[in-house]
Every structure is written in C-alpha cells, then in structure tokens.
Amino acid sequence: MAATPDVYRRIYDAFQAPVSRFDCGRKCAPLNNGQPVCCTTDHAVPVVDRAEWQLLRSRSKLWHLYKPSDAAGRKVISDLHRTCVGIECKGARHCERDNRSMSCRTFPFFPYITAEGEFAALAYFWTFEDRCWIQSNLSVVDLQFIREFVAAYELLFSYDVDEFKANRDHSAMMRRTFSRWNRIIPLLGREGGYFAVEPRTHVIRPAQVEEFPRHEAFRDELAPAPAA
C-alpha cells in the first residue's frame, strides 16, 4: 500500500494547528538573515512523497522542485528514497498556510518510534538545536498541534509502511547519537506532557520540561507566557 494524493488531502484538511500560538519564527529569523529556519532551504530542504508532490502541484504555484547549488544540497537529493523529492517554496512572505507541505506542518518534530515499534511520542530533529528556537522552548508547543500531528501520522502510517520504517530508523539513529553523548532524548507525549529517553537503557520516563537543555543563542532567553 502507498499513500495517495487524497490521503495527503485528508491530512492537510485535518492538520491545521500551528506548532505554537507564539510566532517562533520571530525568534530564529534574526539569526538567519530575516528568514525563519524552517522556511529556507539554506537549512532545511522539505522532502515530500511523490503523491504529496502531485497534490501540491494541483493546488498551488507556491512550490517548485529543489535545485541544489552546493555539495550539501546535492547530498540531500542523492540520499532521498526513490519515492521522494526535495521541493522549495517561494519563501515565508509568500506562504499559503493551506498549501504547506507535511514537513512544514510538522517541523521541527518527527514521530518517535521505540525499538519495539511503538509510535510513542514526538521527538525533534536534533541537528537544528542551535538554530530552532522551539527546541529550546518545548513548553510553548500547543496541545492541539500534538493531537493533530499524531492523527496525521497514524493515518499516513496506515497507508505507507515505508514512512513508518523511515521514522523508526531515524528514531534508532537518535537513540545511538544521544547515548554516545550521554544525553536524555526530550519527548512530547501523544496527549501532552514531557518524557525523556534515558541514554543507553532507552527507557522512557516522565520528565519535567526544566530538564531539557536550552541551546546556544537561546540559552538565556525565557519563553513567553502562554497566550490567553
């Protein structure tokens, strides 16, 4: 089985919640030439399934195929699974929220899959810790976003086993990396709350958000109070 454009349409219709009611792009953009980190291929190339690409092309002129201009970009494209393509939008100022890719809607998170094959929580793409403000301020992530994220991936996984395997493999890589660093893995629970994966044992336990590190430029900056 594979996801079809209609599956992605259903995901888009149901997955509308922003990651936070606070505009996190205002925090990272000043460190990135005025552009949010997640909205420029200088840092993150959106990768989509070909069925999703078919849907996006039918809905909007916002997107085009990504054309790498350096060795790092060429490696991103060369490493893609044959069912995927890299794409690029016209930029944050031209964003059409209804036509964001799934990778835009979910950034900076991915489904954390345990060694036993359970979709247990949300983890983040740790290579962006030094540039993504939200990763140093997990307390601002909105519960509605978490619920829509979980529902979106449960639907996608029911059609696309390769997508599940890719996230399982990425989760395993995160466990190996954080064990080598002797660091806990910060997680957001499927129904909210905070959890940590212990290095080496990989046991998931309840956690306090204060246990999670704040990174680089964001280390001394307090998160804003939740919106009323």
pLDDT at res. 220: 64
Number of domains in the chain: 1
- Note whether residue 118 is domain-resident: yes
pLDDT along the chain (228 residues), means of 10: 93 96 86 85 90 96 92 87 91 92 96 98 94 92 97 97 95 98 98 96 97 80 53
Give residue 44's pLDDT: 85
Residue 224 lies in a domain: no
pLDDT of amino acid 49: 94
Residue at 129 is within a domain:
yes
Range of the structural domain that residue 95 is part of = 5-218
Among 65, 212, 84, 203, residue whose Cα is nearest residue 137: 212
pTM (2 decimals)? 0.91
Q: At which residue do the structure tokens 């430029």 appear?
A: 217
d(CA 35, CA 68): 19
Locate the DSSP E strands across the chain: 47-49, 63-65, 84-89, 109-113, 119-124, 185-189, 194-197, 204-206
Q: Tell me what pLDDT residue 223 has.
A: 58
Tokens of 95: 């964003």
Do residues 126 and 32 make contact, with C-beta atoms less than 8 angstroms apart?
A: no
34 falls within a domain: yes
- The answer to whether residues 112 and 119 touch, using CB atoms and an 8 Å cutoff, is yes
Evaluate whether residue 227 is within a structural domain: no
The pLDDT, as a whole number, for residue 224 is 58
What's the pLDDT score for residue 221? Answer: 63
**Residue 36 falls inside a structural domain:** yes
Give domain status of residue 225, yes or no.
Answer: no
pLDDT of residue 124: 98
Q: Which among 2, 9, 107 has a CA at the least distance from the CA of 56?
A: 9
Residue 178 counted as domain residue: yes
Closest residue by Cα to residue 136 from 226, 44, 38, 220: 220
